Amino acid sequence: MAQCLQSVQEFIQDSFVPMVAVLCSEDAEQVTRKNNLNFSELVRPFCRLTSEGHMRDPNNQIQVIKNLKIHVSNIVTQPPHPAAIRKMLSEVVSVSQPAEGLVANVITAGDYDLNISDRSVKASVPWYNSWKETLTQLNTSKSFTATTPWFETYRETFFQSMPASDHEFLNHYLACMLVVSSNEPQPVEQFLKLSQEQHRIQHSSDYTYPKWFIPNTLKYYVLLHDISEVEEQRADTVYEEMKQRYGTQGCYLLKINSRTSAISTDEQIPDPWSQYLQKSNLQNQELYEDGTSVVIGSTNTENNVSEPEVDGIDPSVKADGVPNNFKTHPLQLDHPSDPGGSFDALDTLRNAVQITDGKKPSTVTTHGACLTLNDHDRIRQFIQEFTFRGLLPHIEKSIRQLNDQLVSRKGLSRSLFSATKKWFSGGKVPEKSIAELKNTAGLLYPPEAPELQIRKLADLCFLVQHYDLAYSCYHTAKKDFLNDQAMLYAAGALEMAAVSAFLQPGAPRPYPAHYMDTAIQTYRDVCKNMVLAERCALLSAEILKSQVKCSEAATLLIRMTSEDSDLRSALLLEQAAHCFINMRSPMVRKFAFHMILAGHRFSKAGQKRHALRCYCQAMQVYKGKGWSLAEDHINFTIGRQSFTLKQLDNAVSAFRHILINDSKQTASQQGAFLREYLYVYKNVSQLSPDDPLPQLPLPCIQSSATRVFFGHDRRLAEGQKQAATHVSLDQEFDCELSQQWKELEEQVVAVVNRGAIPVNFQPTQYCLNSQTDNLRFPLAVVQEPIIVEVVFKNPLKVPLLLTDLSLLWKFQSKVFGQLQNGDEPISNEKEAHVKATFKNEIVSTEVILEFSMSSEETKVARLKLLPHQTGELHILGVVYNLGTVPFVNVVDGTDPSGVQGEGNLVINGMSVRGRQDLEIQGPRLNNTKEEKTSVKHGPDRRLDPIITPPMPLLEVFFINFPTGLLCGEIRKAFVEFVNVSKVLLTGLKVASKHPEFFTFGSNTAALTPQSPTASENCSAYKTIVTDSTSACTALTSLVSPVDFGMGSGNSSLGVIDIPLPDSVLLPGASIQLPLWLRGPDKEGVHEIQFLFYYESPNKLSKLSHRVLRHTAVICTSRSLSVRATVCRSNTFQDEEDGRNGNMLVFVDVENINTNEAGVREFHIVQVSSSSKKWRFQKCINPSEDKDAKLTSRERGKLCFKATTCKYQEATSGALGKYTFADIILGNEQIISATTPCADFFFRSCQSSETKKTLSNGYTSFVPARWPTDDVGKIVRKCSEVDLNIIVLWKAYVVEDNKQLILEGQLHVALQTIGKEACSLSQKQEAQEMVLLKLIRPEQPPVPARPSVEQLSHLIKTSLHYPESYDHPFLHKSLCVVPVTLMLSNCSQAGVDVIIDLRHKAISPETLEVHGSFTWLGQTQFKLQLKAQEIHKLQLKACFIHAGVYNLGTPRVFAKLTDQGSMCETSQQNSMPALIIINNI
């Protein structure tokens, strides 16, 4: 059970106290009426004795009586009506409510923390002299704390309102106070009249009520003296006469009303009567102040009040012969008013709890206004004198008389008390079960029956705390009653025997709980008396709780619930729930379940507040545990009860919880919940229409999924025009792609700012979502729309309809570049109450008139704002009308499926207006140690854009833009740029990760063909028709890479200036520019990113630039594969150009196309070279067919002679320029030095070109020693070739029965002599996975030494000799032929050379083929050649036979000068040098 104010001993003692009746004269009533009290009310706060009492038992042993309390009440002559009792109990429970604003009483049970914040004040606290001390004790002592004060109030009222019964004497009057005023003319005569009246009421057959304990009732005569009106001498005289007549122990002089209005008006006198008269908590003063009226009407009446007989109590009363000075019982439903009669405590209680309206009374009734603290002491002393000198001696005498009578009747020589053991030691009579006993509830004993005398003796002993003797008597009476089968009497004896056994000091025997169980069963099943059964259950449950037998107590309380009384069942179920929570192992779920049952019964009993409280406490257990159906039921009931109690905010909150959780209810139930919520919400909004819009629970908003788009609606493709893809809400966010766009933007910003990115640079983000960087405030442009995409989710199985959906915002006007304005922020929250578009000069808000959502649907709404001023905008949330899907009726024969006309349709739907805030949690911070050890989130600014001044706005359209190309194919398209803003556009650039894919032409207009020429096929190239004389002969031209945007200091790879006229685009203007495209060399699908960058002429704007994105998807197919190698030519030219030499270039072209694009054949129409040092001279192909045609899988071979550029070409002020040499294989020349051929060439080799170091001159001085890395560079230079080959082709394609001619170009970069280069990128082989090894380098890595192959290219050799030589061997046997060996140093440093002529071919095959000869003269030479030096060495060869000989036998070794550690390396042998020796 719940924690109570009193201990179980205090509770039982206060429930059964000696009853004292009061009879007052009219004058005595008038004296007490000065204090707004009657006599019984006057003495009631002082009826608990503060000192111990003593009396002797029949064995003359002294018994100590502690904390005795007596009950003083007026005489009423009719028993209370059961219906009135029920109403009274309902009222006291209704008035007793939990206090608000107090410290919560938290009960920890397992994983639950249950908040039970109810406190009460113990009503039976003795009133001390120091009333302030009492209040302090009430506030601080733990013993005065209760969790369910309404239950204790109900229990106390229940015991006080129990009518007296014939089967027990506990509620019978033991004494009667006769009170007469000293102001009476004849006080003694008045005492005599009152005594006679009491005798008549007790002994006359006209009165069956009240009940009297014994015939010889104690009469105590009280003379009430009003000090303020009557002389004290008169009172003393009358009192002396009374003492002579009644004895000093039978009368008392009580002096009161010693306070007058003129004396001590400012003195504060405590009011101890209010707690008894109002039955309210001293700390709960807000009963009249909580604003909602507590109306106790007919709904609070129990469900069976109208029955004539309730709980076994006979409601018939005898109304005849009642004198006018006695009223009927105060709990009668209808009784006449009695202005002069006496008042009972229950009557006062009843009047106190009847509250007709919820307002606090304007005047507060003051009690005891004429009493001082001395008067309080006199009243307390009076009660003590009455008890110690009158009541207790009377009870002691009565016990002795009853004991003597019983002893004489039983024929015993000893008293009953002495013979108790003998009685109980004999043979026991077996007790019969309740089922075997007859229904003898109606059996009555005469008053003088010995069984009743034993019961009377037991009750007297019980009232004065003599529990041993009481138990013995109850046990004896129980056996007698059971033998007589007087079940009502037996049950009463069992009940009190169990209580007496429990209260015995020292606990000589255990508490007989089975006695109580038998008594309850007898009362309920045999006697049909639920009142007595309830009393028995309350006592037993309290005893079991004190013995920590919570489970047994809960079982007992639950068993006492029934359908006849909802209030009793509710209270007992609530106490059973507290038993479960207070067990050693708390049973939390059982607590919650029984609290739900208690709340249900409270609701049926009309106790709405208590029902609501029970459901709220149970909700603490069910909340968040996954029991959604239970949560829904509890929240629904809480909502309904709160609405009934006019707690509309609580009702809305409860219904809101039903809707926002994942409900497992059926669709119909969810619909009912939604309608209830809308109805309650509408009532709330009507009460306070001017309040801010509250939050709506539906639909759920996925705030983190909110996207914000800054931009206008772009025009789509028109005909052959294709709009730039840019950014839209329909695109999915790709984090990797977003990073690529950011890098492109940083690249172009760095170029604009001369290589450095500004500190305040903020990447452009047109669409913000949960994956973008939202730490900064986004920038929007005035007069450009802002679109917010909100994701709604309908969690219910019923459709929803949102109407008038729009955004809520707050705007702070601000003019950038000026001082801060002092304007107040402007919001549309007030205007959001109006269901219309809010459009003004600040921000235009778009409204979606209707937004429907199906059951469990997730749907996106795109809401638009249009700012008209600069400043700071904060998007707060959304506002809308929430309603169910309406039911549409056809009116006037209109078809509902048609267009909805105004007034044609009647919509039966309920909707309410509210809002939902967009609250987005930022990313978790994880930088500092503090952030890592705690959970902190950064800001998310996506809904807080800054509105900047106007900016230019670019739209881009592509015309004739292809989707498929061959590898290397050249195609011409056009791009249209449109400035759709009212601001000038300048600084237009484009950036791309694939600059080799496109070109806008060179910086020089002469090099860029503006339109196709008149040549065949309308080629994208600039072509010139040639004659046959120029066939196979190179046509050269010299251009600078700067003309094509390469090599300039402020330019960067991938950032290209777009050639606008005057570099600006006027507002509203448009321009078309040509765009050449080249298919990537790798087949497949390619995504090419274009980032168009542009600026505003106003540099002070917060937004420095803008960008436009476009992604082009190109599918490429295979075309040609070009492989090329280069080798040195053996021939030396004359002295002038022999120093530079020449080379042979072999080109292998293969058609690798598989007819994927309908290509029939490829034609190689031209091969061009581009280099700073080399150029093609001529084609030396042996084939006569100059037009190389290649069908599928065919291969063609071409050979070209390359020579170095002329010296004057390289020094004519054009250092760093490229020489283009075109060898025409067709009938027209494609000028490769112009757009687009040169553009794509420079773009393809730009990445490798930037890595090479340009040499501005030759080094004429060679240092003594070089570091190892310099040696490697010098050696590598010998074999390096910087020659690029451009193969231009045409492809004939059949498409739609038409023949198309495609054209393109492929690039091959030759870098090293003898090493093959290819136009296609070689696929890298997958490396084998190996274990990762971590090795700590001990020394820095040593630069790699040049390889033997690289060192073999230091010296170029060539033999000069006649091809045939005639010699008459018959005349002269030896033939000597002069041979010149030419040595050329290919390096930029000095070289030591060794020539060895002693080497001879010794293999038989070589001898057989070529024969043998001998060199004459010096056979070994050592030379030192300077850089680029050519040396001639004269040799002589001797032959002895005619034949064919190979002169290429000299071996040449070389090493760099002063490299002692390096050995001479054999140089590559030249081609075989054959000489024919003829014999003549």
∠ Cα 510 511 515 (to 5°) = 130
b/e map of 264-293 (b: 16 or more CB within 10 Å)? eeeeebbbbbbbbbbbbbbebeebeeeeee
The answer to which of 377-391, 706-720, 948-962, 1168-1182 has the lowest mean pLDDT is 706-720
Element (H, E) at 13: helix 8-15
Residues pairing with 267 in the sheet: none
pLDDT digits (tens, 9 = 90+) for 179-193: 999 989 899 999 999
pLDDT digits (tens, 9 = 90+) for 204-243: 888 888 899 999 899 999 999 998 888 888 899 999 999 9
**How would you list the strands of the sheet with 1317-1318, edge to edge?**
1174-1179, 1195-1204, 1142-1151, 1120-1128, 1317-1318
Task: Give residue 420's pLDDT.
Answer: 45
Nearest to 168 by CA among 397, 470, 400: 470
Sign of CA dihedral 14, 19, 25, 26: positive
Element (H, E) at 805: strand 800-813
Nearest to 1102 by CA among 1361, 758, 1348: 758
Q: Which amino acid is located at 507 in the chain? A: A
- What value does the mean pLDDT take over residues 340-352? 38
pLDDT digits (tens, 9 = 90+) for 550-583: 999 999 999 999 998 999 999 999 999 999 988 8
CA distance 307 to 314: 11
**What is the SS3 assignment for 513-533?**
HHHHHHHHHHHHHHCCCHHHH
CA distance 154 to 159: 9
CA distance 1182 to 1294: 32
CA distance 705 to 707: 6
317 versus 48: which is more confidently predicted?
48
Q: Are 1151 and 1118 in contact (CB under 8 A)?
A: no
Residue 1061 carries which DSSP code?
G
Q: Residue 492 — pLDDT band, cuts 50, 70, 90?
A: very high
Percentage of the residues of the chain whose pLDDT score is greater than 70: 76
∠ Cα 685 691 696 (to 5°) = 55
CA distance 399 to 469: 10
Is pTM beyond 0.85 here? no
CA distance 68 to 18: 9
pLDDT digits (tens, 9 = 90+) for 65-112: 999 999 999 998 888 888 889 999 999 998 888 766 544 455 555 555
> What is the pLDDT of the chain when averaged over all its residues?
78
Q: Are 460 and 398 in contact (CB under 8 A)?
A: yes
**Beta carbons within 8 Å of 1008's beta carbon, 6+ residues apart:** 1001, 1002, 1234, 1235
Q: Residue 1334 — pLDDT band, cuts 50, 70, 90?
A: low
* Per-residue CA distances from 350 to 19, 83, 88, 277, 591 (Å): 21, 13, 6, 9, 33
Task: Give residue 909's pLDDT.
Answer: 63
The answer to which of 602-616, 620-634, 1019-1033, 1396-1410 has the lowest mean pLDDT is 1396-1410
CA distance 72 to 160: 12
Here the tokens at position 131 are 């009333």
pLDDT digits (tens, 9 = 90+) for 1261-1273: 333 344 455 777 7
* Per-residue CA distances from 1005 to 547, 1037, 1058, 1234 (Å): 109, 17, 13, 10
Task: Give residue 113's pLDDT.
Answer: 57
pLDDT digits (tens, 9 = 90+) for 106-116: 555 555 556 55
Tally of helices (H runs) and strands (E runs) in the chain:
32, 59
CA distance 1126 to 1148: 12
**Cβ-based neighbour number of residue 740 at 10 Å:** 14
Task: Give residue 900's pLDDT.
Answer: 38
Nearest to 372 by CA among 230, 260, 252, 236: 260
pLDDT digits (tens, 9 = 90+) for 876-888: 999 999 988 764 4
Q: Residue 1471 — pLDDT band, cuts 50, 70, 90?
A: low
CA distance 251 to 188: 12
Task: Give residue 312's pLDDT.
Answer: 35
Task: Give residue 310's pLDDT.
Answer: 33
Q: Residue 1029 — pLDDT band, cuts 50, 70, 90?
A: low
Q: Residue 1281 — pLDDT band, cuts 50, 70, 90?
A: confident
Sign of CA dihedral 440, 444, 448, 454: positive
pLDDT digits (tens, 9 = 90+) for 754-800: 878 888 888 888 899 998 888 889 999 999 999 999 999 998 888 99
1 CB burial (10 A radius; 0-12, 13-18, 19+): buried
The answer to which of 336-350, 487-501, 1185-1199, 1421-1435 has the lowest mean pLDDT is 336-350
**What is the SS3 assignment for 1191-1211?**
CCCCEEEEEEEEEECCHHHHC
pLDDT digits (tens, 9 = 90+) for 1039-1057: 887 777 776 544 566 788 8
Q: Where are the alpha helices (DSSP H) in 220-372?
A: 232-246, 274-278, 345-353
Q: Are 745 and 763 in contact (CB under 8 A)?
A: yes
Q: Residue 593 — pLDDT band, cuts 50, 70, 90?
A: very high
Q: Are 972 and 999 in contact (CB under 8 A)?
A: no
Sign of CA dihedral 1011, 1016, 1019, 1021: negative
Q: Is it the case that residue 512 has pLDDT exceeding 60?
A: yes
Task: Give residue 128's pLDDT.
Answer: 34
CA distance 1035 to 1179: 12
Task: Give residue 323's pLDDT.
Answer: 38
Q: Residue 928 — pLDDT band, cuts 50, 70, 90?
A: confident
| β-strand pairing of 1443-1446 with 1430-1439 | unpaired
Task: Give residue 267's pLDDT.
Answer: 60
Q: Is it the case that residue 469 has pLDDT exceeding 80?
A: yes
54 CB burial (10 A radius; 0-12, 13-18, 19+): exposed
Nearest to 491 by CA among 575, 417, 431: 431
Q: Is it the case that residue 263 has pLDDT exceeding 50?
A: no
Q: Is it the case that residue 1172 has pLDDT exceeding 60?
A: yes
Q: Residue 1214 — pLDDT band, cuts 50, 70, 90?
A: low
Scan for tokens 């049950």, then name that residue: 491
Strands (E), 110-167: 112-115
Q: Are 1250 and 1053 in contact (CB under 8 A)?
A: yes
920 versus 838: which is more confidently predicted?
920
**Cβ-based neighbour number of residue 255 at 10 Å:** 20
| β-strand pairing of 848-853 with 779-781 | unpaired
Q: Is it the case that residue 933 has pLDDT exceeding 60?
A: yes
Say what angle helices 82-95 and 608-622 make with each other, to 10 degrees: 50
Q: Is it the case that residue 1433 has pLDDT exceeding 70?
A: yes
Nearest to 224 by CA among 19, 379, 388, 72: 379
The answer to which of 419-423, 625-629, 908-912, 929-933 has the lowest mean pLDDT is 419-423
The answer to which of 17-26, 904-913, 1352-1361 has the lowest mean pLDDT is 904-913
